[in-house]
Amino acid sequence: MTLALTSKILPLSKVEDLADSRLAPKISQLSGVGLVTIGGGQKPAVRIQVNPATLATYGISLEELRTALTSTSVNAAKGTLDGEAQNYQINSNDQLLASDDYRDVIVAYKNGAPVTLSDVSKISDGVENIRLAGWMNQPPL
């Protein structure tokens, strides 16, 4: 079975995100469904375009920047509460999902002042692959 999704008000990346996060998991739970695949959509992504000259003026390497970004956006357990009969895992999702979330990320401290990601780069919402999309019975928007 092939199911095509379209929207007159949502961009293709939002339709893809809804299909991937809400629709596909529900369809896969139906009896008799063996596999659900999504194709032709554009997965949302945050684009970070670093200015190497600005980075160099702050004395920050690309590896330092990558490490700061990697450690900032993590979805992992934060600890546990241990009791006599039960243990609870503390989990908080501090994963960054939109460009606005990344703007104030501190990538380094220079001369006692924080250097934010927006100081050394342009940050925008986009898609993973700008050359990928799918349409059915309509022209591309």
Topology of the domain covering 12-77+89-127: 3.30.2090
Domain ranges of the chain: 12-77+89-127
- Average pLDDT value over all residues in the chain: 85
Q: How far apart are CA 41 and CA 17, in angstroms?
A: 9
| pTM for the whole structure | 0.65
Beta-ladder partners of 46? 125
Residues 89-133 have pLDDT tens digits of 776 667 777 889 889 999 999 989 999 999 999 999 988 887 776
